[in-house]
Amino acid sequence: MKKMILSISSCLLIALILSAAAALWYAQKIFIPQKLKPLLIETAKKANIKIDLENVYYIFPGEFSVRGLTLYDRDIPSQKTLTANNIRIWFKPLELLLKKHVLVNKIDLITLKIFPGPGHTFTSKGHIFIDGELSYKLNDPKSLAYEGIITLKDHDIKNMPFVKNISGLNGKIRIFPEKISIIELKGHSFGCPVEFSGFLENFKDPYLDLTETIDLDLSKIDSFLLAKISNSIKSITLSGKSIAILKMSGKLSQWPIKFNGSASVEDAQANIKNLKNTIQNIKGSVSFDENSITIPRLEALYNDIEYDFKATMTSYNAPSIYAVLNSKDLLLETKLRTIDDYVRFDSIDGTWFNSTINLVGEIQNYQNPELKLSGESKLDLEDIQKILSRLFGENNNVSDFINNLKPKGICAMSLFIDGLINNFINCEVGLKAESENLILNGFNLGALDLSAQLKTKVFSVPKLNLTPYSGTLDMQGNINADSEYKIDMKAKDVDLGKLIKDTGFKDKDIWGIVFLNCALTGKGSDLNNLKGQGWLLISNGRLWQFPLLGGFSDFLKLPNLKNIEIKEASGNFVVADKKITTQNLEFSSPQMNMAARGSLGLYGGLDFNIGLSFTPGFAQENQLAKLAMLLVDETGRFLGELKLTGTLKEPKYSFVTLHLDKIFDNAVVNKIKELFKKQP
């Protein structure tokens, strides 16, 4: 009997346990979710809060799991303010069952999204723990009360203002009725430490006061900038540290809310693609708000020169910018405006040393930007080397080139530039320049009138007119992208006497009027490619004291030749094989004529054969040396040729006999040859 009672009791106990388990399962999985979901929605509605749920689950003994929670804006029911994939809620079940009192002591939120305004979403991935107490009496809709601490550990948040994405976020936030306050909150954004402080209050019409402080690595600044701004400075690489602070405050319903901030930088560096050297020791500060950016002063060092920069920008939607860059030698001011994808340069005014520039223009279409600039400039040619050294540092090749040119003069220029920035090699550039007096390498070239154009990769100079030494020099030419060039040159009425005064032969008694016409072609800097032809004429002159000519009288031991007046020189020439070659260079005077054949190397080498002929009776009248008289026939023609070799700096003379062995015996010929081998 006892065994039977024990067996029945055991069966009843098992059945009771199974029934309880089934009831608990039914309550957790079916009854409570079906009943609690509409209850929570209705309760929230009574509190004037619109929510939506995917489902609610009960986990014995005191936990609920809410899946797919969505909280909507009070005033705009279709506008979401918060979503959570899953919320776990720990509560006290006896309080709920016996007193209809919901008492929550812990909440875990997973994958939270906040929608502060249209088009903006903050996404938080990870667990957010809330420890504290939330109290709500089911029979009193106004009894909601709560207080707690929100703990974040190794949290990731996306789409935050300014810092965008945050990883490894740790900290604590205190929550009160109608207020959330940050106790401590730190993380990293793109590897840069970030710290937050502030609060959110008045949940009926939320008001945010938030400060973000970031220890910014300037090499990662692109990650924090808008794409449009980042693209505009992609040619700039920064390094160094900056402390940046962003403060935001305002009602979320009035998004975008007001903000302001500042950034300070110390000992930073910048590399700009088109600048040879690094900009160093950058220091200063930047302040900004929702309407403007101000740089009160930014100092930097470039090529050992100190520069100051200041700027203001107003209106982010249609920015207007005023910027000033100055140093001890430079003042550059720029005013520009932007509208949509259009930038207007109202003015670009600069003074550098004694030179000035004034430009206006625009950039159209950010997607494929086109630059258009036009304006005027006054360039002091003596400033060129100083400006280049400021921009690109000391370069011996450039310095030597400009030092050799020794440019002097003031050029007034007008110019325009029109081209796609991404394909600037195909841009169009126009230039006009005028100068009252231009000097190169000590030569006074007179007034300058220049027109030049770059178009379809061809740089052309339709007009380059100069007035050297009371004459004219007119040039035109072009060069293409393959460095193939063509130059036409005409000189007329150039006063040789004035020109000589600007050379090392200024003490020589040399004058004349020079005419020149030549055409040259070539490619690159290789003189092997230089070819051309032309002619030269010097009239009404006195040319014997040219060093190359005057040396003949000493070589021939005929000092009286120095009194001969060579009045004219003329000849045609060909340029090829790194030489200027002539077959008919002639010097003429009432007493004597000279005919030269040969070449002048482009590096100064000489190779000429020169024939002489005197007017009949000139030898006897001037009592030339008896030996010279023996070498002149009855017509005055010299029975031989002079050979000119060596270089322009060190010419060498020799005598070439013309079958003298048929006129004199061998002994006389040898004496003549030996005589001309001896230099005076």
Q: What is the pLDDT of residues 573-585, one digit of tens each?
A: 999 999 999 999 9
Which residue type is seen at 470?
S
* Tens-digit pLDDT profile for residues 438-482: 999 889 999 999 999 998 889 899 999 999 999 999 999 999 888
Instruction: Read off the pLDDT of residues 528-557 as tens digits, 9 standing for 90 and up.
Output: 889 999 999 999 988 877 767 767 777 766
pTM of the entire predicted model = 0.68
Arithmetic mean of pLDDT over the chain: 81
Of 78-92, 177-191, 392-406, 408-422, which gets the smallest average pLDDT?
392-406
Output the pLDDT for position 491.
97
Nearest to 568 by CA among 513, 638, 501, 642: 513
DSSP 100: -
Q: Convert 260-297 to b/e letters by CB count within 10 Å (16 or more is b).
A: ebebebeebbbeeeebeeebeebebbbebeeeebebee
Residue 27 has pLDDT above 80, yes or no: no
Indicate left, alpha or beta for 604 from its phi (over 0: left) and psi (-120 to 50: alpha): left
**How confident is the model at residue 417, as a pLDDT?**
92
What is the spatial distance between Cα 522 and Cα 530, in angstroms, rounded to a whole number?
A: 4
CA torsion sign for 196, 202, 207, 209 is: negative
pLDDT attached to residue 230: 64
pLDDT(348) > 90: yes
Query: Quick check: 643 and 608 in contact, CB under 8 A?
Result: yes
Of 120-124, 208-212, 297-301, which gets the smallest average pLDDT? 120-124
Question: Tell me: the pLDDT tens digits for 286-309?
Answer: 998 888 889 999 999 998 899 999
For the chain, how are helix, strand and coil distributed in percent, rounded to 5? 20, 60, 20
At residue 80, the 3 state secondary structure works out as: strand
Is the bond into 256 cis (omega within 30 degrees of 0)? yes
Quick check: 238 pLDDT over 50? yes
Q: What is the DSSP string of 367-418?
A: SS-EEEEEEEEEEEGGGHHHHHHHHH---HHHHHHHHHH--B-EEEEEEEEE
pLDDT at 18 over 50: no
- Residue 427's pLDDT is 86
Interatomic CA distance for residues 546 and 540, integer angstroms: 15
Domain layout of the chain by residue ranges? 27-224
Residue 592's Cβ-count burial label (10 Å; 0-12, 13-18, 19+) is buried
326: amino acid identity, one letter? N
| Predicted confidence band of residue 16 (pLDDT cuts 50, 70, 90) | very low
Count, residues in the chain? 680
Say how many C-beta atoms besides its own lie within 10 A of residue 444's C-beta: 18
For residues 249-269, average pLDDT: 87
Tokens representing 677 are 């081998």
Instruction: For residues 493 and 480, give the distance between their C-alpha atoms in angstroms, rounded to a whole number.
Output: 32
Opening angle at CA 341, ends 339 and 346, nearest 5? 50
**Looking at per-residue confidence, does 255 or 174 come out higher?**
174
